[in-house]
Amino acid sequence: MKLPAWRRTPEDFASRIEQSIPWIVEYLKCDRGPWSPCAPGELAAKVPVAPPLKAESLEAVLDDLRTVIEPGLVRWDAPGWFAWFPSNAHPDAILGDLLASVTAQQGMLWTSSPACTELESRMLEWLRVALGLPEIFREGGAGGGVIQDTASSGVLACMVAARDIATDGAATRQGSAACGGLTAYTSEQAHSSVLKAAGICGVGRDNLRLVPTDNDFRMDAGALADLMQSDIEAGLRPCFCCATVGTTGCGAIDPVEAIADACDTHGCWLHVDASWAGTAALVPELQSQITSGATRADSWSFNPHKWMGAAFDCCCLWLADRAPLIAAMSIDPEYLRNAASGGGDVIDYRDWHVQLGRRFRAIKLWVLLRCTGVEVLSEMIQFHIDLASIVEDAVNLHPHLELAAPRSLSLLCIRHTDGESGTQKLLDMVNGDGRFAATHCRLDGALVMRIAIGTLAVDRKSVDSLIEVLEQC
Amino acid sequence: MKLPAWRRTPEDFASRIEQSIPWIVEYLKCDRGPWSPCAPGELAAKVPVAPPLKAESLEAVLDDLRTVIEPGLVRWDAPGWFAWFPSNAHPDAILGDLLASVTAQQGMLWTSSPACTELESRMLEWLRVALGLPEIFREGGAGGGVIQDTASSGVLACMVAARDIATDGAATRQGSAACGGLTAYTSEQAHSSVLKAAGICGVGRDNLRLVPTDNDFRMDAGALADLMQSDIEAGLRPCFCCATVGTTGCGAIDPVEAIADACDTHGCWLHVDASWAGTAALVPELQSQITSGATRADSWSFNPHKWMGAAFDCCCLWLADRAPLIAAMSIDPEYLRNAASGGGDVIDYRDWHVQLGRRFRAIKLWVLLRCTGVEVLSEMIQFHIDLASIVEDAVNLHPHLELAAPRSLSLLCIRHTDGESGTQKLLDMVNGDGRFAATHCRLDGALVMRIAIGTLAVDRKSVDSLIEVLEQC
């Protein structure tokens, strides 16, 4: 029987994957520098404006992949990628994600995919154990773990839950009428997603207090307590605080225990954002530093899609108590009711985030963790930190360069002693070299170059080359 | 040089994909019924509680895929899948998504991936043209298109933008202090995501009016106008209305033009949710029905990951004016500043939704549309609708079955003339057969069985088999 034109036999699909493999292999050799050479509009100009009516050959598509798409790609996987943070796609995770696409699960309910649901809970348990996170987050407890697409979605979900605890659910039901006077807290070095979430969920950006930091850019827990106290005296209601373990700027690790003390006093939800640095807890020697205070947190998240190589997107979020999140997010239309949900002995993850539908993301964690193993991932993290130490030593020996903040794990913030213009020249030199990508931030108002070490491909050679460029400065 | 243990050569990766292909080919033959045979906890009991410290062989993982994971999978791709809506992963989209993983783009900024950004704008333009959506949504206009992960995220983003228009941005800045009295509207048949969004964004679930529907379950535009009017007389502020083209229950298509009239009167944002039915606009004869009133909408969305086969997740959202969305979502930390963004001639999609990071989803649309072509996808939709007509005819001839709502495209709502218990028996019979999956909803309070036709594999044979089962009723 002839298949209709919109179907492919499994064998045809397999052969098309095989046909694509030479391009994939070539691409993964990564023989060019990280930044794209394209100017704005250059790629779009090569793509037809009208959609293709007739099917084209895969060969034609692969040709265009090479000539049209490839120049517009940024090599986040380059050995000289030191920009922002790593966003690693380990081959085992890529394979796992291929299985997610092939199996086409939609895990909104346990019933709609028991595998997506139960493997997710178990993978979060694996990672909880691997990171040394406390029992309060364990599978089968009052809380548990969930995959959010990104940390931005995770912090929004937690802030919504926190807002509802403070208003006994009235914020979700009545909206603004109930959320008057709510305030939230994070450090002035925290990620922009906290501000974004405050704007979205009705707390309001103006009501997010950016707590000052100490000399090492860590949240000042005393200042936090004072801010909360004065807000309460002004009749306001502190409901949510986000501590950061590894800030985006310089990787500062907030004093979570001391922050928890302030939060406890006022019944404030404590969320820990360890998006980047969380992976470092795979290294036994670093575990206590990274997870410090986690037993006091209401929620804790990190992004395996960053340093751990789980392939974007994949953010792991643990909750000590899932009830307030589910209360805020739950919707129960007739068309989703089913015996398993009604029985109450399964998890329906649709109630744990903004989205209803959900991809089978757990399977990429499963393939990655099994095919690579926790110990190897831990060795990788330690290797990256060691590389960063080598750069740190070179900077300390350099007559015109200095660290603008203590090295945090594998992240360095470097500035020129000549100030702004010197640092800008340094950035231009590193990014102009062709082999490297570096980005910047500001610390105490001054420009610094960020060197975030952590791609799968980075090695001693790439770091030595970077040091050579720094030495020419 | 020996690679560190966390790296794989491109050739090793290729051979591991090849090693997985036999399982993939076998799986895609889909030789079992759609529902998972697993009981709650059954899958989890077969997965170790502790994470693997050492790497295991891919062979062992593939074995477990077969024995542990596979029984817990729900075959959303089965020819007898009539539950909820289709969530199709066309092989070309799967291949495209593999390329997204391999290239590991993170498209938060134009600079962080020109390809991810520019191909996305162009793919949204391709789909705008293919669906016959109006010029107001065109690439390069005041609005434009963006990929959201799901329609739930899309409707939340639009409601936030609408809330900010009504409050001149004060809702994002001041939160509750500014959003007092805001009201939103959707029909009582609308998707639960509208209610969820109202709860999240500070409008409040109580302030979402569920507008009554007519005999065919379409929003009653007159009732909407009356509700808005009485809200205004009560000092409230209508800010957002969601019309549905293809409701989740029975596929009703709201009268968008008439709804737009009511919205215009009060300066209310009009969002059109065509998550499932939007794909039907690929059929030229259906285009005017599906896109009716779209020129009057502020935003319009559909999910190519449903019927079109783009593989979960992928929701396309168009805006007539992107400014209010960007104003509400924009965050501008120093560490994301760059020359291209500063120049103002590029799109930075991080400002178009909750998330900051973003996957290169456009490439799966590109591979799917090019390798399959719009015409073939259009033929597929028409084929599914024709199959639904065949089932409709059988129901109409059946002595004890009837349609509870007019057939909408390829969606049928069937009930037994004996009422609740008869319909429940019908559902049990269809789901108990082993070859089929069907879900339910309630229309006018009465139980109905939904038959949503639309997987890639469904054919005349599967529909004839279903009819045989119906006839035994």
Q: Is A468 exposed, middle or buried (0-12, 13-18, 19+ CB in 10 A)?
A: exposed
* B88 residue type, one letter: N
Q: Under an 8 A CB cutoff, do A6 and B309 touch? A: yes
State whether residue A469 sits within 8 Å of chain B by CB.
no
Q: What is the pLDDT of residue A1?
A: 65
At A118-175, the pLDDT tens digits run: 999 999 999 999 999 999 999 999 999 999 999 999 999 999 999 999 999 999 988 8
CB contact under 8 A, B115 and A440: no
Q: Is the ipTM of this complex over 0.85?
A: yes
Q: Pick the residue from chain B with its C-alpha nearest to A139.
A: B49
What whole-number distance in Å separates Cα of residue B439 and Cα of residue B425?
A: 13
> How far apart (Å, rounded) are the C-alpha atoms in residues B447 and B463?
22
Instruction: Sort out which chain B residues have CB atoms less than 8 A from A149's CB and list them.
Output: 149, 355
From B211's Cα to the closest Cα of chain A, the distance in A is: 16
- Contact between chains at A177 and B174 (C-beta distance less than 8 A): no
Q: Report the distance separating Cα B11 and Cα B9, nearest Å.
A: 5
B28 vs A177, higher pLDDT: B28
The residues, ordered by sequence, that sit 6+ positions from B429 with a Cβ below 8 Å of its Cβ are B469, B472, B473
pLDDT for A345 equals 85
Chain A hits for B55, CB-CB cut-off 8 Å, are 370-373, 376
CATH class of B376-471: alpha beta
Q: Which residue of B has its CA nearest to A347?
A: B40
Torsion of CA A327, A329, A330, A332, to 10 degrees: 150
Helix axes B221-233, B256-266, angle to 10 degrees: 10
Give the best residue of B69, B147, B447 to mutate against chain A (max A CB count within 10 A).
Answer: B69
Residue B69: CA count within 13 A, CB half-sphere: 24
Query: Which DSSP state fits A52?
Result: P
Query: Can you give the pLDDT at residue A431?
Result: 97
CA of A34: which chain B residue's CA is closest?
Answer: B112
pLDDT at A333: 84
Please check whether residue B382 is in contact with residue B455, taking contact to mean a CB–CB distance below 8 angstroms.
no
Q: Chain A partners of B328 at a C-beta cutoff of 8 Å?
A: 199-200
Distance CA B292, CA B215 (A): 20
Which range has the worst mean pLDDT, A169-183, A219-233, A412-426, B107-121? A169-183
CB B317 within 8 A of CB B148: yes
**Residue to substitute from B106, B208, B420, interface A, most A β-carbons within 10 A:** B106
DSSP-assigned letter for residue A459: -
**Among residues 232-261 of chain B, which lie with CB inside 8 Å of chain A?**
248-249
Residue A412: in which H helix or E strand, if any? strand A411-416
Contact: B356, A152; criterion CB under 8 Å: yes
Cα distance between residue B212 and residue B6, in whole Å? 58
Residue B36 corresponds to which tokens in the numbers above? 């998972």
Our CA-based measurement puts residue B219 at a distance from the nearest CA of chain A, in whole angstroms, of 18
Alpha-carbon gap, residue A17 to B20, rounded angstroms: 11
pLDDT tens string A358-415: 999 999 999 999 999 999 999 999 999 999 999 999 999 999 999 999 999 999 999 9
Element (H, E) at A447: strand A446-452
Work out the minimum CA distance from B366 to partner chain A, whole angstroms.
9
**0.95 surpassed by pTM:** yes
Of A14, A97, A200, the CB nearest to B25: A14
Residue A435 to residue A464: CA distance in whole angstroms:
12
Between A and B, how many residue pairs show a Cβ–Cβ distance under 8 A? 525
Give the pLDDT confidence score for residue B1 in this predicted structure.
65
CA A70/CA A42 separation, integer angstroms: 12
What fold does the segment set A374-471 form as a domain?
Aspartate Aminotransferase, domain 1 (3.90.1150)
Please judge whether B101 and A93 are an interchain contact, meaning their C-beta atoms are less than 8 angstroms apart. yes
B327 touches chain A (CB under 8 A): no
Residue of A nearest to B84 (CA): A335
Question: Which A residues, 268 through 297, put their C-beta within 8 Å of a C-beta on chain B?
Answer: none
pLDDT tens for each residue of chain B, 473 residues long: 689 999 999 999 999 999 999 999 999 999 899 999 999 999 999 999 999 999 999 999 999 999 999 999 999 999 999 999 999 999 999 999 999 999 999 999 999 999 999 999 999 999 999 999 999 999 999 999 999 999 999 999 999 999 999 999 999 988 877 778 999 999 999 999 999 999 999 999 999 999 999 999 999 999 999 999 999 999 999 999 999 999 999 999 999 999 999 999 999 999 999 999 999 999 999 999 999 999 999 999 999 999 999 999 999 999 999 999 999 999 888 888 898 888 888 999 999 999 999 999 999 999 999 999 999 999 999 999 999 999 999 999 999 999 999 999 999 999 999 999 999 999 999 999 999 999 999 999 999 999 999 999 999 999 999 999 999 98
Nearest beta carbon to residue B177 from set A180, A442, A457: A180
Judged by CB atoms closer than 8 Å, whether chains meet at B372 and A6 is answered as yes
The answer to whether B383 faces chain A, any CB pair under 8 Å, is yes
**Cis peptide bond N-terminal to B313, omega within 30:** yes
Q: Is A14 on the interface with B (CB under 8 A)?
A: yes
Give residues 74 to 103 of A whose Cβ lies within 8 Å of B: 74, 76-77, 84, 87-95, 97-99, 101-103
Interface test with B, best of A335, A376, A385 (most B CBs within 10 A): A335
Which residues of chain A neighbour B112 with C-beta distances below 8 Å? 74, 76, 84
Report yes or no: B369 at the A interface, CB cutoff 8 Å.
yes
Do residues B326 and B352 make contact, with C-beta atoms less than 8 angstroms apart? yes
- Taking CB atoms and an 8 Å cutoff, what residues of chain B touch A7? 456-457
Distance from CA of B409 to the nearest CA of A (A): 18
- Find residues 127-166 of chain A whose CB sits inside 8 Å of chain B: 127, 129-130, 139, 149-153, 156, 160
User: CB of A41 within 8 Å of any CB in chain B?
Assistant: yes
Q: Which residues pair with A446 in a beta bridge?
A: A443
Quick one: how far is CA A237 from the chain centroid?
A: 29
Q: Give the closest residue to B216 by CA, choosing from B193, B243, B189.
A: B189
**A112 and B55 in contact by Cβ < 8 A?**
no
Among residues B463, B382, B25, B89, which one has the least CA distance to residue A7?
Answer: B89
Percent of chain A with pLDDT over 70: 100
Residues of chain B with CATH 3.40.640.10: 97-372
Answer for the pair A225, A189: CB distance below 8 angstroms, yes or no.
Answer: no
Assigned fold of A97-372 = Aspartate Aminotransferase; domain 2 (3.40.640)
Q: What share of chain A is helix, strand, coil (3-state, %, to 5)?
A: 50, 15, 40
In terms of Cβ atoms closer than 10 Å to its own Cβ (0-12, 13-18, 19+), residue B343 is exposed
Whole-angstrom distance, CA of residue A315 vs CA of residue B165: 31
C-alpha radius of gyration, chain B, whole number: 24
> In chain A, which residues fall in CATH 3.90.1150.10?
374-471
In angstroms, what separates the C-alpha of B97 from chain A's closest C-alpha? 8
Q: A14 CA to chain B: closest CA distance, Å? A: 6
Q: Look at residues B189, B233, B228, B193 and name the one whose alpha carbon lies nearest to residue B212.
A: B189
**By CB neighbour count within 10 A (0-12 exposed, 13-18 middle, 19+ buried), where does A157 fall?**
buried
Residue A15 CA, chain-centre distance (Å), reads 34
Residue B459: phi, psi to the nearest 5? -145, 180
Q: Does residue A32 sit in helix, strand or coil?
A: coil
CA B239 – CA B163 distance, rounded (Å): 6
Rounded to whole angstroms, the Cα distance separating A343 from B191 reads 24
Q: Is B424 exposed, middle or buried (0-12, 13-18, 19+ CB in 10 A)?
A: middle
Cα–Cα distance, B333 to A244 (Å, whole number): 16
In A109-150, where does DSSP find H-type helix? 114-131
Chain A contact present for B301, CB below 8 A = no
Nearest alpha carbon to residue A131 among A274, A245, A278: A278
A87-96, A141-150, A215-224, B178-187: least confidently modelled range: B178-187
Distance from C-alpha of A85 to C-alpha of B106, rounded to nearest angstrom: 11
Residues in A touching B36 (Cβ below 8 Å): 113-115
Chosen for mutation from A49, A94, A97, A101 (greatest number of chain B CBs closer than 10 Å) is A101
- Report the DSSP beta bridge partners of residue A300: A272, A318
- Residues of A within 8 A of B333 (CB-CB) are 191-192, 248, 441
A223 CA to chain B: closest CA distance, Å?
22
Distance of alpha carbon B403 from alpha carbon B297, whole angstroms: 31
CATH 3.90.1150.10: which residues of chain B?
Answer: 376-471
B446 touches chain A (CB under 8 A): no
B114–chain A Cβ distance below 8 A for any pair:
yes
Contacts of B382 (CB under 8 A, 6+ apart): B283
SS3 A4: coil
Any idea which residue has 């086969």 for tokens?
A: B309
How do beta strands A315-319 and A144-148 pair?
A: antiparallel
